[in-house]
Amino acid sequence: MRKLALSLGLAAVCGTALIAVAPVATASETGAQAACFTLWDTAGYKDGSRVFSGNDSDFSNNNWSSGKSSNNSANSGKNACSHNVYMYAETSYAGQSYYLQDNSVDSDFGNNGFSNTAESLNGF
């Protein structure tokens, strides 16, 4: 009987430990947004890229991975988010807009009249 009680005691300790870990696993989901949207400098997902995990009201202070300015420069994008992402021709989500639906890609903004145009982005 004493052995059985000890086993049960250990099981209880393990159970408590698992419960304590659970909130840590979900914290990442409720905290920072997923980095699920990517833009590229050039059509066909080429040259420098930028990954977004939230809105950006002004591209002028952000460069592509290549080091070049990402302002008025996006030409293709992939939206792996579960929500639409909206790009705007001016800062602060103003001017002409173009959006990528959730879980969609566009290899060339040129046939959408949005080449080298985006200055801000939201939808997160």
Residues near Ca ion (CB under 5 A): 41, 56, 58, 61-62, 73, 75, 106, 108, 111-112, 116
Torsion from C-alpha of 106, 107, 112, 116, nearest 10 degrees: 110
**Whole-angstrom distance, CA of residue 16 vs CA of residue 26:** 17
Token pair recorded at residue 120: 């801000």
Nearer to Ca ion among residue 37 and residue 106 (C-beta): 106
CB of 34 to Ca ion, least distance (A): 19
Rounded-to-integer distance, Cα 28 and Cα 25, Å: 6
By beta carbon distance, the residue nearest Ca ion is 73
Cβ(118)–Cβ(59) below 8 Å: yes
Shortest distance, position 82 Cβ to Ca ion, whole Å:
21
Distance in Å, CB of 6 to Ca ion, minimum: 59
Closer residue to Ca ion, CB minimum distance, 64 or 81: 64
Q: Shortest approach of Ca ion to residue 13 CB, angstroms?
A: 48
Pick the closer one to Ca ion by CB: 36 or 56. 56
Question: Is the CB of 16 or the CB of 92 nearer to Ca ion?
Answer: 92
Instruction: Say if CB 75 and CB 110 are below 8 A apart.
Output: yes
Radius of gyration of the chain (CA): 22
